[in-house]
């Protein structure tokens, strides 16, 4: 055996961790490195790159990269391609192939391919506890000899084998054995396996055809060798059945109970995201409000103060407030995935969703859209088919998210009195439910249309492992949640921040000296001694300033365009400012109508009910309210979502198509609704 020479002199070894999905690779990675992780991007693609560090007992630093899960080095998705390319690069000193001990045959396929690249390799027999429990015996020495590399058995739960793994990484070897057919060298195999794998990324049609043939033959050949190795090294128990999973699946994939359990799971997730998350969210908002108040009081009044408080801090608050929902959603997704339940959801939903150009794996991201589109779009990564993933991302924002809730609440309360129908149903509640249904119908209908439009050479398939049920590991999921929150804060945060500052500028600055004139007009009245309505006057001044600001002028500019929908320039301002986030609508309306308490929906409502149009009739009648409701249901009024869509699709085209489609749909629907009523 030839010993590799990792850069021990630098005291840092670069390790690639790879394995099949469900090999327990990420759990192992999280157990090994804990929170010493950095999440970045692989150059040119949107696949997350997770790098963590740990130290061996000799003080050698190991820099471990967790590669995306892959079944082979013949990639079939973007994730698999990334994993393959990293291995071919020169940055990796040692490759650690993680395998599921109780499902060794299939997992060894990848291991033999990586060994054939002639790079230093270590094979990990992961989840050795499960193999033990099944009564499966693996002869490690013999397996190590046949593969020609070092082998270590580990258990991520008890950390058994961790120290051994770390200590043998420095002595990883390049195997002298080969696992592809070298007996009758042909045009391809004569060049060596690494060369074959490298050349598959060149766009050469002629080569591709030869390669396709080779890949199939090679895989069959490898399995023949693996069957031989398996027979030599693994002793199977008499009957290795996983009774628990079988029994659980009788219920979980049952025609009636299956869907019932799914509904129950979704219900619990929503309870958490809607109601439990509200407490930390309110706490964050209050803290920011307190902080903003203090900052504005401490710093001298002026432009800088205003920018800092109403631009930067307000923007920051709008980002941080999402953290509880994002963390909770990823906690649940993590639990559902690690336990093996998610695979069953895909299994029972695939047929329904396939008709709409989606995949069984689209269910959770789409339904989570009711909480917030941002984490849901990130959650669509589990879909390997490009077209199905793209459609999922494009339709998610049509689901009515939690930010629409305050807008819906305000508008519905303007439109209908507190009335019960049939004695038990609250009319408001029914309209609210209708809004959510409207969103869901639009989501599926749009997916169906996109299915006909989006072209892909990739064939839609659903070949997915149903892993056995496992107890999720909290620590590993915790590490993932922290990572996701960090990515959101940084990636989406910078865009939200920038737009918040632009919106701040537009709504707090006006052309010429209009602002000064307004201030002069009010200053005398405000400074009159014994003036009881001082607060009221300040509110009025703010309202007039907003009207004179660039945002106000924009609102008036777009008035002709939104007039057919029943909106005036005041709503126009709210539409512009709430582009940042839908819930800003309520706050803006509060400012425009100089309501006393912008946090309190009731006070805004009272002002709006009193608002009259030119003919003296109430301005906010059913037609205007319904028109606005429909507009907010469909319009892409959320820059965080756009930022995430851009990041996930890496395509300005699709981001803009989605924006214009949703805005167009909102406009047309509002127009129809306003004119029908």
From the CB of 245, what's the least distance to another protein, in Å?
Answer: 8
In the complex with another protein, the residue whose CB is nearer, 102 or 588, is 102
CB 170 within 8 A of CB 1: no
Kindly state whether residue 386 participates in binding another protein, applying the rule CB under 8 A.
no
Kindly state whether residue 102 participates in binding another protein, applying the rule CB under 8 A.
yes
CB 46 within 8 A of CB 56: no
In the complex with another protein, the residue whose CB is nearer, 240 or 561, is 240
CA 557, CA 532: separation in Å to the nearest integer? 36
Kindly state whether residue 76 participates in binding another protein, applying the rule CB under 8 A.
yes
Query: According to CB under 8 A, which residues from 464 to 493 bind another protein?
Result: 464-468
CA 674, CA 623: separation in Å to the nearest integer? 5
**Segment near another protein (CB under 8 A), from 42-50, 191-199, 371-379, 461-469?**
461-469
Q: Give the containing element (helix H, strand E) for 50.
A: strand 48-55
Closest CA to 50 of 58, 40, 59, 60: 40
**Near another protein by CB under 8 A: residue from 215, 491, 519, 559:** 215
**Near another protein by CB under 8 A: residue from 49, 106, 210, 553:** 106
For residue 435, CA distances in Å to 288, 408, 412, 428, 667 come to 31, 8, 10, 11, 16
Closest CA to 596 of 540, 515, 531: 540
- In the DSSP assignment, the letter for residue 53 is E
**Near another protein by CB under 8 A: residue from 162, 291, 462, 671:** 462
From the CB of 404, what's the least distance to another protein, in Å?
Answer: 31
**Near another protein by CB under 8 A: residue from 74, 332, 488, 585:** 74
Stated length of the chain: 677
CA 312, CA 502: separation in Å to the nearest integer? 10
**612 contact partners, CB below 8 Å, separation of at least 6:** 618, 619
Query: According to CB under 8 A, which residues from 338 to 357 bind another protein?
Result: 343, 346-348, 350-352, 354
Closest CA to 377 of 454, 369, 400, 387: 369
Query: Hey, CA dihedral for 162, 168, 172, 175, is it positive or negative?
Result: negative
Residues 522-554 as b/e (b if ≥16 CB within 10 A, e otherwise) read beeebeeeeeeeeeebebbbbbbbbbbbbbbbb
From the CB of 215, what's the least distance to another protein, in Å?
Answer: 6
User: x-or-dash pattern for another protein, window 136-165, by CB under 8 A?
Assistant: ------------------------------
Kindly state whether residue 112 participates in binding another protein, applying the rule CB under 8 A.
no
**Segment near another protein (CB under 8 A), from 49-57, 210-218, 313-321, 412-420?**
210-218
**552 contact partners, CB below 8 Å, separation of at least 6:** 507, 510, 546, 569, 573
**Near another protein by CB under 8 A: residue from 26, 30, 103, 385:** 103
Kindly state whether residue 504 participates in binding another protein, applying the rule CB under 8 A.
no
Kindly state whether residue 606 participates in binding another protein, applying the rule CB under 8 A.
no
In the complex with another protein, the residue whose CB is nearer, 246 or 613, is 246
- In the DSSP assignment, the letter for residue 490 is I
Q: Give the containing element (helix H, strand E) for 17.
A: strand 12-19
* β-strands 2-3, 173-174 pairing: antiparallel
User: x-or-dash pattern for another protein, window 306-345, by CB under 8 A?
Assistant: -------------------------------------x--
From the CB of 257, what's the least distance to another protein, in Å?
Answer: 10
**Segment near another protein (CB under 8 A), from 152-160, 208-216, 294-302, 312-320?**
208-216
Closest CA to 340 of 249, 230, 434, 239: 249
Query: Hey, CA dihedral for 315, 317, 320, 323, is it positive or negative?
Result: negative
CB 655 within 8 A of CB 646: yes
From the CB of 466, what's the least distance to another protein, in Å?
Answer: 4
CB 51 within 8 A of CB 38: yes
CB 114 within 8 A of CB 98: no
User: x-or-dash pattern for another protein, window 237-266, by CB under 8 A?
Assistant: ---x----xx--x---xxx--xx-------
Give the interface size with another protein as a residue count (CB under 8 A).
42
CA 620, CA 110: separation in Å to the nearest integer? 64
**Near another protein by CB under 8 A: residue from 11, 38, 55, 105:** 105
**Segment near another protein (CB under 8 A), from 177-185, 266-274, 457-465, 646-654?**
457-465
From the CB of 133, what's the least distance to another protein, in Å?
Answer: 14
Q: For the CA atoms of the chain, what is the radius of gyration?
A: 30
**Near another protein by CB under 8 A: residue from 244, 290, 461, 660:** 461
From the CB of 212, what's the least distance to another protein, in Å?
Answer: 8
From the CB of 46, what's the least distance to another protein, in Å?
Answer: 23
In the complex with another protein, the residue whose CB is nearer, 354 or 556, is 354
**Segment near another protein (CB under 8 A), from 37-45, 192-200, 213-221, 412-420?**
213-221
CA 208, CA 217: separation in Å to the nearest integer? 14
**241 contact partners, CB below 8 Å, separation of at least 6:** none
From the CB of 603, what's the least distance to another protein, in Å?
Answer: 50
User: x-or-dash pattern for another protein, window 12-51, by CB under 8 A?
Assistant: ----------------------------------------
Instruction: List residues binding another protein (CB under 8 A).
Output: 71-72, 74, 76, 102-103, 105-106, 109, 212, 215-216, 219-220, 223, 240, 245-246, 249, 253-255, 258-259, 343, 346-348, 350-352, 354, 360, 459, 461-468
């Amino acid at each position: 055996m030839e010993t590799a020479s990792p850069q021990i002199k630098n005291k840092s070894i670069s390790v690639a961790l790879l394995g099949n999905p469900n090999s327990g690779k990420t759990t192992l990675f999280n157990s090994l490195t804990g929170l010493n992780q950095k999440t970045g991007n692989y150059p040119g693609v949107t696949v997350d790159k997770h790098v963590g560090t740990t130290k061996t007992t000799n003080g050698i630093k190991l820099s471990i990269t967790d590669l995306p899960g892959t079944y082979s080095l013949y990639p079939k998705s973007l994730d698999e391609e990334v994993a393959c390319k990293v291995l071919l690069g020169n940055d990796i000193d040692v490759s650690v192939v993680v395998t599921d001990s109780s499902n060794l045959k299939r997992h060894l396929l990848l291991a033999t391919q990586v060994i054939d690249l002639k790079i230093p390799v270590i094979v990990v027999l992961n989840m050795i506890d499960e193999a033990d429990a099944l009564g499966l015996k693996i002869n490690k020495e013999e397996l190590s000899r046949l593969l020609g590399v070092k082998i270590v058995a580990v258990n991520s739960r008890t950390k058994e084998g961790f120290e051994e793994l770390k200590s043998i990484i420095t002595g990883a070897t390049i195997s002298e054995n080969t696992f592809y057919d070298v007996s009758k060298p042909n045009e391809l195999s004569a060049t060596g396996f690494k060369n074959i794998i490298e050349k598959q990324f060149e766009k050469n049609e002629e080569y591709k055809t030869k390669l396709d043939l080779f890949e199939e033959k090679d895989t069959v050949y490898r399995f023949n060798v693996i069957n031989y190795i398996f027979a030599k090294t693994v002793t199977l128990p008499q009957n290795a059945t996983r009774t628990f999973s079988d029994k659980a699946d009788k219920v979980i994939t049952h025609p009636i109970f299956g869907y019932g359990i799914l509904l129950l799971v979704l219900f619990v997730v929503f309870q958490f995201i809607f109601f439990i998350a509200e407490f930390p969210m309110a706490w964050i908002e209050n803290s920011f409000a307190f902080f903003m108040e203090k900052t504005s009081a401490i710093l001298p009044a002026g432009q800088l103060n205003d920018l800092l408080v109403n631009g930067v801090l307000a923007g920051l608050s709008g980002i941080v407030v999402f953290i509880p929902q994002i963390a909770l959603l990823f906690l649940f997704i993590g639990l559902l995935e690690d336990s093996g339940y998610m695979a069953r959801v895909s299994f029972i939903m695939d047929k329904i969703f396939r008709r709409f150009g989606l995949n069984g794996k689209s269910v959770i991201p789409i339904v989570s859209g009711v909480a917030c589109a941002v984490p849901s779009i990130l959650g669509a990564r589990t879909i390997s088919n490009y077209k199905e993933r793209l459609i999922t991302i494009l339709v998610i924002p049509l689901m009515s998210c939690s930010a629409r809730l305050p807008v819906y609440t305000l508008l519905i309360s303007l439109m209908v009195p507190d009335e019960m129908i049939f004695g038990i149903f609250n009319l408001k509640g029914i309209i609210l439910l209708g809004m959510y249904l409207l969103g869901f119908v639009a989501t599926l209908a749009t997916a169906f249309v996109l299915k006909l439009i989006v072209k892909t050479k990739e064939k839609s398939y659903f070949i997915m492992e149903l892993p056995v049920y496992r107890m999720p590991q909290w620590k590993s999921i915790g590490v993932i949640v922290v990572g996701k929150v960090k990515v959101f804060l940084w990636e989406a945060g910078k865009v939200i921040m920038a737009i918040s500052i632009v919106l701040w500028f537009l709504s707090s600055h006006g052309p010429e000296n209009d602002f000064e004139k307004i201030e002069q007009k009010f200053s005398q009245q405000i400074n009159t001694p014994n003036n009881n309505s001082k607060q009221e006057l300040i509110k009025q001044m703010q309202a007039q300033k907003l009207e004179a600001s660039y945002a106000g002028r924009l609102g008036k500019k777009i008035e002709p365009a939104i007039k057919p929908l029943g909106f005036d320039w005041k709503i126009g301002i709210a539409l512009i400012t709430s582009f940042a986030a839908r819930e800003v609508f309520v706050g803006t309306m509060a400012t425009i109508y100089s309501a006393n308490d912008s946090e309190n929906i009731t006070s805004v409502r009272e002002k709006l009910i009193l608002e009259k149009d030119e003919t003296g009739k109430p301005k906010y009648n059913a037609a205007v309210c319904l028109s606005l409701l429909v507009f907010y249901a469909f319009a892409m009024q959320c820059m965080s979502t756009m930022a995430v869509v851009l990041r996930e699709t890496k395509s300005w085209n699709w981001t803009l198509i989605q924006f214009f489609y949703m805005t167009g749909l909102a406009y047309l629907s509002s127009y129809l609704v306003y004119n029908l009523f």
